[in-house]
A and B are shown apart, each in its own frame.
Chain A
Amino acid sequence: MTMEATLAAPTTGALLEVKALKKYFPIHAGLFSRHVADVKAIDGVDFEIRRGETLGLVGESGSGKTTIGRVVMRLLPATSGDVSFDGRDILAMGRGDVRHLRRQMQIIFQDPYASLNPRMTVGDIVGEPLRIHNLASGKAAEDRVRDLLKLVGLRPYHANRYPHEFSGGQRQRIGVARALAVDPKFIVCDEPVSALDVSIQAQVINLLEDLQQQLGLTYLFIAHDLSVVRHISTRVAVMYVGKLVELAGRDALYENPLHPYTQALLSAIPIPDPAVEARRTRIVLKGDIPSPVDPPSGCRFHTRCPIAFERCSVEEPAFVDYGSGHFAACHWVAEHGGQAPNLANGPIVL
C-alpha cells in the first residue's frame, strides 16, 4: 500500500483530495452502554485543495468544519471515505507513515491559550518537532528555533520564556512557529484568529499570508468569520450540518452566491459604512441549526430555507458544478438552470 502510494505521488494538481468523507461519533447510553445514535459530524463531504492555494471552510458552530480538520490531520479516525494527500491514502496509513505525514502536514489551533503546554518553554515547544523527527539537535536545533521565532515576528530570546508570559497574538505566533518547524507543505488553520482581538487578527492573518508566499504553503483555513475568509482564501467552501452546500472561487462565492444558505450567511456581514449598512437587506433565517444527530431529510437546509419546495424535504440535492468550479447543492438552483435565487428583495425575507 505504502510503496505504490509513494510511487504514484504526483507533482501537480490537488495536494489534498477528500472523497465521500464521513465521521460519526457514536452516542452510548443506558446501563450497558448501548449504541443508541450517532452525531453525524461529517456526512459525506467531497473537496480538493490545490497546491499553493488557501481553501476557506466556513460554517456555523457545530457544522463539522473543525472535525474535517482533525480527520484530515489523522487526529481523529474517519468513519468512511477517502482522504489522499500528495497521492497517498492517508486514512489507510499505519503508525509509522502517520508519523512521517506529520512532517508534511501541520495544524494551527484555535485557542492559543490552550494549545501551548504551560510547563514547556517556548524553545522546547518550537524545538520539539525537530527532535522528534530527528531534523536537528543541539546547537543546530537552537539556531533553527531562533530562526523560526524571527520568522513569525518574535525575538530569539523569547525561547527561554513560558507561554503564560505572552499575549494572545504572540502565543498564536508561537503556535505558527511550532507548525512551521518541520517545514510542512500543508497547514490546517483551525480558526486561528477567532480567539484573538480584532486588532491582532489582522497581524496574524498577514503573517499567515506572508508565510504562504515565502514558503509555498497550502492552507485549509477553517473559520466562521466571513470577512476574514474572504481576505485570505483562494476558494471557499460553505458547510451546513455535516455537508458542503457550496464551493466556489472566492469572488464567485461572495459576488454570486448560489445556495440560499450562503446568501443568508453573506447578508449577515456588516458593512463598515453607515449609509450602506442602513440599506442592507438581511436574510434572517428562522430557527436554529438542526441537530447533527438527526439531520433533516432531503436537503438539510429545507427546514430553514425560505424557498424550499416539496422536493427539498424528500430528495437530497446533488453537489453539482454550475460552471468553472462553482459547486452548489440546491434543487432550486438545479431547476432554474444554475440561476441564483434572489432572496434579498422579495416577500420571502423572513
Chain B
Amino acid sequence: MSTGSVLISPAGIEDDDLQMTKVTFWRRLRRHRLAVAGFVVLAFIVLCAVFAPQLSPFDPTYIDPHWQGNPLPPCFVNSSQCAGHILGTDEVGRDLLSRLLFGARISLTVAFFAVVMEVVIGTILGALAGYYGGWVDYVIMRVTDVFLSIPLLPLLLVLTGIVAASSSKASLSFLTIVIIIGALSWPGVARLVRATFLSLREREFAEAARAVGNNDFRIIFRHLLPNAIAPIVVQATLDVANVIVLESTLSFLGFGIQPPTASWGNMLANAQATLEQAWWVAVLPGLCILFTVLAINYIGDGLRDALDPNMR
C-alpha cells in the first residue's frame, strides 16, 4: 500500500465489496459442542421446573398410604412395591419425582438470584478496589477479608438466627435466603475482579481510553470490565454449584427451605437417615444437582470462549 497517497482508497475496491459478515456471538457459541449440550440439559431442567405442576404424577406433599416406615423403591428397582411412584418415595412416603420437579423450581431460582447478587456486588466492589487502588482498595479489601475470615457456617447461623428472630414465621422466606447467600458469597468474586483489574488498569489501552477523554466510569465499565468477563463467568458458574449446596446446608441445619416444601438441598440433606436402605432418596437429587452444575459449567466455558474475540 502506498503511503504517499493515503487519502486515496485502493483502486477498484468498493467499500461494500469486502464487507465481511460478522461472525456472531451465537454462531461462535454454537461451535462449542459441550456448551450446546449444557444448554440443552439446562433448558430441559428449566422446562421441568416451569411445568412441574403439569408433569408431576403426585402432589409433592402427598404421603402415600403404602408407605410403612421405609421409602418405597422406584419402579425400575422393584415394580411390585413401587405403588406407581416411578422414582419411588422419600423417607416419609412422598413421591420423589414430584418433589424433584418442584424442588428444581426452588433450587434453580435460589441459585440464579443468589449468584446474580453475588456477581453484581463482587464485581462492583472488586472493580472499584482494583481500579482506584489506594485507600479505596484498602477499605474494600479489609471488609472482604472480614467476610472471608469468618467461617461461613457460624456466620450463616447467626445471621439467619437474627433474621428468623425478627420475623414472625419459624422458617426463612425464599427472598431472605437469597439475600443472605448473596451477601455472604461475594468476597471471592470481589477478590478475583480486583486482581484482574489490577493488571488491566496498567495496560496501555486503559491509558489510551483516558487520553481519548473517557471518564473513570466508562473506563471501568466499558473498557476494562469486558476484558474481565471470562474469569467472572467461570467463577459465577462454579458458584451456582456452591449456592445449591449452601442452600442444602442451610436447609439441613433447619434454616433453609423447610419441608414439606421441596428443594434439592433439603431432599439431599434429609435422605441421610435412610441412606443404607434407600440409595435413591439421596442419589436422585444428587444427580439433579450434578447435571445442573455440569451443564452450567459447560455453558460457562462456551460463553467464555464465545466472548473472547481472540478465539474466533
Contact = CB atoms under 8 A, between A and B. Distances in A.
Given A118-B227, A155-B9, A146 B15 contact: yes
Nearest to B17: A157
A155 B19 CA distance: 10
A207 B226 CA distance: 32
A106 B211 contact: yes
Interface residues of A, number: 44
Given A107-B211, A160-B22, A116 B205 contact: yes
Contacts of A289: none
B15 A160 contact: no
Contacts of A119: 226-227, 309
Q: How many interface residues does chain B have, given as a range?
A: 20 to 34
Contacts of B227: 117-119
B3 A203 contact: yes
Nearest to A70: B207
Given A129-B213, A132-B214, A114 B226 contact: no
Contacts of A109: 204, 207-208
A24 to B, nearest CB: 18
Contacts of A114: 203-205
Given A115-B205, A157-B19, A129 B212 contact: yes
Most buried by B among A115, A117, A128: A117
A326 to B, nearest CB: 33
Contacts of B312: 162
A133 to B, nearest CB: 6
Contact of B15 (A157, A175, A207): A157
Contacts of B19: 157, 160
B146 interface: no
Interface in A126-169: 128-129, 132-133, 146, 150-153, 155-157, 160-162, 164
Nearest to A132: B213
Interface in B1-57: 1, 3-4, 6-7, 9-10, 13, 15-16, 18-20, 22
Contacts of A75: 207, 210-211
Contacts of B213: 99, 102-103, 129, 132-133, 182
B201 interface: no
17 contacts: A102-B211, A107-B208, A110-B204, A114-B205, A115-B205, A116-B205, A117-B226, A119-B227, A120-B223, A129-B213, A146-B15, A151-B7, A157-B18, A162-B309, A202-B3, A203-B3, A211-B6
Given A162-B312, A203-B1, 7 more contacts: A75-B211, A102-B211, A109-B204, A128-B214, A150-B6, A153-B6, A181-B212
Give me the 3 closest cross-chain CB pairs, A-B, nearest first: A114-B204, A102-B213, A119-B226
